[in-house]
Amino acid sequence: MELPAQLRSAIDRELEGLSLSYLRAASDRLTARYRAETRDGRLHLDGLLAVKAYVAARMPATYAAIRSALEATGGQLSGLAPATLLDVGAGPGTALWAVRDCWPELQSAVLVEASESANHIGSALARQMSGVNIRWEGGDAAIALARCKPADLVTLAYVLDELEPAPRTALVDRLWQLTGQALVIVEPGTPAGWSRIIAARQQLIQLGAAIAAPCPHQFTCPLALPDWCHFSRRVARSKLHRLTKSGDAPFEDEKFIYLAAARAVVDARGSRVLAPPRHSKIGIDLKLCQPGGTVSQTFAPKRETGRYRIAKRLDWGDAFES
């Protein structure tokens, strides 16, 4: 997966002339803060250079994770066609671009982001997007959300890891109040990220939400550490992306976990592939989260031609009508 062409061009213009050494240093600091899940009262995207480092080094992978989560959500909610978006912790507008790519009919978006630098660069990038009425809300998220109206789709990506438990609970509660059709939350694909998603999942179920994806059920998650639910998306790296991260590979794999909660009844669903399918000479092994609330290993032998053909097309994170 790669960024939309309009966004790639806008990023190239925004980063033109920037010293690569400064960009690398800022990218290293930003990556360290994300990996350590640092909570020191400072914004991760604090200052123009930090935001530009994010745009160069992290935005492609974040976009891919959000876009994948939205695609899976749409696959379970056939009636979902959001005209309005509320994105909280928007950064430079990553989720906005993913939503617009998934649903071109999007008409308006409110983006809540405390970092003035992220708002500034996000606004510059969004000038390349036509047909969407975009409003940026700065300052404290709790105050900004008090001014916000409900939206068809509400998104929260890579934000819960910056909050302590009590503010997380309050934020999820407020976002569900503002959700017209669906709420999508994305977190890093780490055990800690999964634990935060599990807590949000339980909270939303208690609030009456229908879990649309990735879970094919409303039961307690059957996984327990050291196992945990997460997915991966391969991301194409641009030349600038590779240089910023001092990498040679033309791609990277972004590990993430997500949760989609809906107001409407979720479409009939099958199982969810929880790990990369294992191919052998005689068939394919699949690890599946089942609609009954269990995890099982399923084998699709080559001799069962129809079943094998379906399994052969599956990837990690796909839905499987078993």
In terms of Cα–Cα distance, which of 69, 75, 70 is closest to 270? Answer: 75
What's the topology of domain 5-262? Rossmann fold (3.40.50)
Q: Where are the domains of the chain?
A: 5-262, 271-320
Cβ neighbours of residue 17 under 8 Å, at least 6 residues apart?
A: none
pLDDT tens per residue across all 322 residues of the chain: 788 888 888 888 877 766 666 667 666 676 666 666 655 445 556 667 778 788 887 888 899 999 999 999 999 998 899 999 999 999 999 999 999 999 999 999 999 998 898 899 999 999 989 899 999 998 788 888 988 999 999 999 999 988 889 999 999 999 999 999 999 999 999 999 999 999 999 999 999 999 999 999 999 999 999 999 999 998 776 666 555 655 666 667 889 999 999 998 787 678 999 999 999 999 999 999 999 999 999 999 998 988 899 899 999 999 987 6
Per DSSP, the three-state class of 38 is coil
- Would you state the pLDDT for residue 38? 59
CA 139, CA 174: separation in Å to the nearest integer? Answer: 17
Give pTM, 2 decimals.
0.90
- Would you state the pLDDT for residue 156? 97
User: Which residue intervals of 16-47 are DSSP H helices?
Assistant: 20-36
Q: With 0-12 CB in 10 A as exposed, 13-18 as middle and 19+ as buried, what is 213? A: buried
- Would you state the pLDDT for residue 39? 55
CA 102, CA 98: separation in Å to the nearest integer? Answer: 6
Cβ neighbours of residue 313 under 8 Å, at least 6 residues apart?
A: none
- Would you state the pLDDT for residue 35? 67
